[in-house]
Structure 1
């Protein structure tokens, strides 16, 4: 993967250490490099995609990864005339810690002042890029990759058991934790300052959900203007677009087609499996916009091909199985000669498109019923002896049980690690080494930190962190980069995010209608069939295919067999999952089987 990395501290900067850190992250740092042992400084970067820059001047070093827009005219000129890293260095000298507020777009940067023993790190507002760090003694080490930071002699690779637990709970390792003890990850919109030997973090930006007082028509005009600008600013030569047939990807293709006044090349993935293929919607959008459509139908053998690629390319275990279709879609585009792709990620999380937003409205309504009705009628009825486990009272019992759990923890009611007692899942030594409550605490911290009291805004703020920054953007960014594609997210343009955040709540979710404003405002752009379609996603029929395609089933069996030897999960629990997956619950249990399989695949591929 591409990125930047470096350190400030006691360890003299030298070429061997820089090369070691680069190789650990699958980087070759020979493109951009600076080391100065007398100042105890090392910075480096490598970019096949042209997103990494470093600049060293007058005892100050700046390392930048990404495509920021500078809001200050002087810095914007330096970025265009010289290079963006120089703009960061000059911006630091002029504005200090205010600098990231004057930058938009995707970026991660580090500024080092070795003579002052001072450093400053910053990450973009949505976490499109990533920046990791470790503070050990007199060392501050940073890098785009967890692996590059851990490769520094002062840090090391000691796996954190809590990170393994977090991975099995979230199917990724959410920031700020990383796989390794002592290595942390910046949160979206966060900065880190090293001063007087002490590290402190803070947020230079947080989502503002204060609703605007404006009517539909002016908001619609503003929205279409901001959307058009975001698409135009992100467009680049040799750019194609993902097209799943969902609302977001179709919007991006439609807006890009309108901006160019010419057809767009689109790339879509299909599945020859009941309940998974959405190619009809992708074709609907492609026909509507006159796109040059490229289709690839994923086969079980493709999953076998993708598994080692995923294990190699991610710098930590990653368990979202839609990395597979993302990889093949990006790979197909690169083979067709494209270097850039538009992705539609972010629309659900800023405009109110996730089904759970409407579902939680039903649960939240329960608390507003009169107590006498809840306690005197509904709850006794839901718990009638001998009948509460039979339909329809079983449904009522489940509803009441979930409604009595507060948000955001109610969202995890169906999490595998809540459905079975932990001592039946994990080995006793592993349970003693972790804090299971830390996952709930992490969710609650982000939910409660929202600058809004409304649960829908709070849910969207939660999803900006856990669904987008920790999961979907990692999935898409890593797989496109592995294919040699640079990805752009027009719906996550800072201006568009700010616009969406200020919409009134009922413009986002109106009753049970998701993305009400978004769909109404784009009714002339989006095909009616796509506006009214049921949300599906980019799911993978892994659970079904692994029982039907022997080579894939063999990988599953071998991976789980090897994983049993690690002594983390009870063998009986893994056997139970496999048995259930072979029945009518193939897709449900296939999720956890994939997660465990990819953990074993990653550990095997990355053991040092």
Structure 2
């Protein structure tokens, strides 16, 4: 993946010698990370600098007078005039011309995976933007009149104007969400762009906005036959377009998405692709059986690996270090070993199935929440009666079906999206039990929920499933899963594409009727029904599982993992990040109550400590 960085100074920049600015932009670019064969190109202006770190042939960086451009990815124009210009002059020059003619409005015609920075030193104007799903990343900070940007916070904080000061609020948000949800980053006043978001600096003022949103339609006619035919055509086209080279493989978990991608690769190529699957020797976590079913069904050349506790222990420091922020999604471990296996086998590109759940209705909570939404549609007098009879039932009387009724009424009375967090570990424990007093003064415990409410409400659709998917496109996908897969592929030195996030599929899914996504409690009803003669029957009927890691169980069984976890949590307490009493409580509950449930928070804290150890310049405010 190519990545960009740079800065734009204000009207009175420091008089840094050219060599110093050259060294600075080079230092920032090196901290972008990237694949092993990536090189750096940069351009300097009177008050600005931009750089791209990319593989040979993937670099777009240019200068035209005081105007500089850095472009990562390979976008395309929807506008025929701009497309013709790009074919004649190149993408970079067409972007510069479009900027002069249209300003930020050029983004409405730009498609595909990209991040870009246009900076004009003479006018002190800049435009930063990323693609519609957030496959590319971009962070920024405004310090005085200096705008600093980069694909990673590591690159941004390499600039002397930006201090790597950890924000206590972001630390709390990480514990709550297991990542730092955009627009914040782990650092104070350093921000991430959301999918389809842009930043425009002009006349000293910084403005953010969205150039695109999912075009959900709530009144689409029911036309199943037409939709099904179109869907299969789009699936095949998206996989064909994502398969840009011969040395390509596919992640194959055995779930609906990865099986669909592998199957379409077989159809496009006329032969089964090389697929890569990870297993676990742990009850309830191993899905290798389903991966083998899909591989056999499509004639794939299957490659398998069983991850061990020793593998996990070896990978933890490397995984924590490659992220520019704390990242607590434990499924990064199997993703890394899968990508590493493919790279060792000579693959240079992997296709991943991420995105299908978030655009076609595949997450279990979509069906679960519909059950609770029925309560809100009941007549107000009936809700008042149920709340009076069941909602405040004391524990002594709440037994059997009465307890279930009370729990239902209490949960159904919480509006979405807050209701989805009732089992959140931080919600259950309380911030005051986890964090020391000095950090509590700097946080708003409602902040993660406020972020979710904004995204949930920022869509034109009134359908619950569309609103929940809109939230998941941002938090589950852009904030977590895409960062997980992209960084683990980078660590394994292999590129990754996401065919199910092709914009044609996004637009198609948005216009489908809402009940095509979840129908009578059945997840991905349309997706599975339209592919029932293509996918194996076992794939169609299997329950939702995910790419989980049995860390909580293995920590009880493996002395090395147990020691690593205890040492990391003790070190975190000594740093003053968490209360020692909470660490003791968490480890005791893990031993005595529910290893998997409490193991999740242990993993999140352990990865935070390893990230802090790998980023010694990061300083905790508060």
2:481 is paired with a residue of what secondary structure?
helix
Call closer, same or farther: CA 1:251–1:180 in 2, change over 3 Å. Answer: same
SS in 2 for 1:126: coil
Say if 1:91 and 1:281 are closer, same or farther in 2 by CA, change over 3 A. same
2:42 touches 2:52 (CA, 8 Å); kept in 1?
no
Q: Please point out which of 97, 107, 111 is paired with 1:104.
A: 111
C-alpha displacement of 1:395:
2.3
Contact 1:54 1:86 in 2 (8 A): no
Of 40, 45, 60, the residue aligned with 1:32 is 40
**Partner SS state of residue 302, structure 2:** strand
Q: Which residue of structure 2 aligns with residue 145 of structure 1? A: 152
Is this contact kept in 1: 2:41–2:59, CA < 8 A? no
2:125 to 118, 122, 139: 118
**1: distance between equivalents of 2:41 and 2:280?**
44
Task: Output the TM-score relative to the length of structure 2.
Answer: 0.94
1:590 to 578, 599, 608: 599
Hey, what does 2:71 align to over in structure 1? 64
Instruction: After TM superposition, list the pairs within 5 Å mapping 1:316-335 onto structure 2.
Output: 316-335=325-344
2:565 equivalent among 515, 533, 556: 556
Cα distance in structure 1, aligned partners of 2:81 and 2:250: 33
Partner of 2:242: 234
Preserved CA contact (<8 Å) 2:25 2:42: no
Q: Which moved more, 1:528-537 or 1:75-84?
A: 75-84
Q: Which residue of 1 aligns with 2:7?
A: 7
Residues 50, 540 of structure 1: CA spacing in aligned structure 2 closer, same or farther, 3 A cutoff? farther
Residue 584 of structure 2 aligns to a residue in which SS?
helix
SS in 2 for 1:115: coil
- Aligned residues of 1:64 and 1:84 also touching (Cα < 8 A): no
Matched, 1:518 2:559: no
The 3 A distance-change label for structure 1 pair 80 and 551 is farther
Find out whether 1:21 has 2:39 as its counterpart.
no
Distance 1:462 1:377 in 2: 30
Give 1:204's aligned residue: 211
Answer whether contact 2:37 2:55 (CA < 8 A) is retained: no
Quote the offset at 1:597 in angstroms: 0.5
CA–CA distance in structure 2, aligned partners of residues 364 and 157 of structure 1: 43
Q: Classify 1:49/1:481 alpha carbon distance in 2 versus 1 (closer, same or farther; 3 Å).
A: farther
Contact 1:245 1:284 in 2 (8 A): yes
1:421 counterpart = 2:436: no
Structure 1 counterpart of 2:360: 351
Gap change, CA 1:384 and 1:198, over 3 Å in 2: closer
**Partners of 1:32 and 1:54 within 8 A in 2:** no
Matched, 1:44 2:51: yes
Distance 2:116 2:614 in 1: 29
Would you say the 8 A contact 1:163–1:177 is kept in 2?
A: yes
2:150/2:156 contact within 8 Å kept: yes
The aligned counterpart of 1:243 is: 252
Which range moved further: 83-92 or 126-135?
A: 83-92
- Cα distance in 1, alignment partners of residues 200 and 262 from structure 2: 40
Bigger mean CA offset, 311-320 vs 54-63: 54-63
Report the alpha carbon displacement of residue 403 of structure 1 after superposing the two structures with TM: 0.5
Once the two structures are TM-superposed, the CA of residue 214 in structure 1 deviates from its matched residue by 4.5
Q: 1:441 aligns with which of 445, 450, 461?
A: 450
Listed as ranges, the matches of 1:531-570 within 5 Å are 531-570=540-579
Give the drift of 1:384.
4.1
Deviation at 1:386, TM superposition (A): 5.0
Distance 1:568 1:242 in 2: 37
Structure 2 matches for 1:403-552, cutoff 5 A? 403-552=412-561
Q: Secondary structure at the match of 1:111?
A: strand
8 Å CA contact retained: 2:25, 2:49: yes
**Is 2:269 the counterpart of 1:260?**
yes
C-alpha distance in 2, partners of 1:449/1:580? Answer: 39
Could you tell me how far apart the structure 1 residues matched to 2:463 and 2:209 are?
24
Compute the displacement of 1:383 (Å).
Answer: 4.5
Deviation at 1:570, TM superposition (A): 1.7
Aligned to 2:201: 194
Q: What secondary structure sits across from 1:593 in the alignment?
A: helix
Deviation at 1:161, TM superposition (A): 0.8
Greater Cα shift, 463-472 or 46-55: 46-55
Instruction: Quote the Cα distance in structure 1 between the aligned partners of 2:266 and 2:342.
Output: 18
148-157 or 595-604, which deviates more: 148-157
Q: C-alpha displacement at 1:65, in angstroms?
A: 1.1
Distance across 1 between alignment mates of 2:161 and 2:395: 62
Q: 1:157 to 1:321 in 2, by over 3 A?
A: same
1:171 and 2:197 correspond: no
1:370 aligns to 2:379 (yes or no): yes
2:620 corresponds to which residue?
A: none
Report the alpha carbon displacement of residue 379 of structure 1 after superposing the two structures with TM.
Answer: 4.6
Deviation at 1:158, TM superposition (A): 1.0
Cα distance in 1 for partners of 2:293, 2:228 equals 24
Moved more, 378-387 or 260-269: 378-387
For 1:31 and 1:3, locate their aligned partners in 2 and report how far apart those are by CA, in whole Å.
10
SS in 1 for 2:276: strand
Choose the corresponding residue for 1:360, options 360, 365, 369. 369
Q: Distance in 1 between matches of 2:2 and 2:231?
A: 34
The answer as to whether partners of 2:391 and 2:410 remain within 8 angstroms in 1 is no
Q: After superposing the two structures, state which structure 1 stretch, 163-172 or 152-161, moved more.
A: 152-161
How far residue 275 of structure 1 moved from its aligned partner, in angstroms, is 0.2
| Larger displacement relative to structure 2 (96-105 or 50-59) | 50-59
Looking at structure 2, the residues matched to 24 and 229 of structure 1 have their Cα atoms a distance apart, in angstroms, of 36
> Is the CA contact (8 Å cut-off) linking 1:49 and 1:484 kept in structure 2?
no
351-360 vs 69-78, greater mean Cα deviation:
69-78
Structure 2: distance between partners of 1:248 and 1:21? 37
Q: Unaligned 5+ residue runs, structure 1?
A: none
Q: CA deviation at 1:24?
A: 3.6
Q: Distance in 1 between matches of 2:536 and 2:576?
A: 52
Using structure 1 for the length normalisation, give the TM-score.
0.96
Contact conserved, 1:382 with 1:394, CA < 8 A, in 2? no
- 2:409 is matched with 400
Give the Cα separation in 1 of the matches to 2:434 and 2:405.
Answer: 28
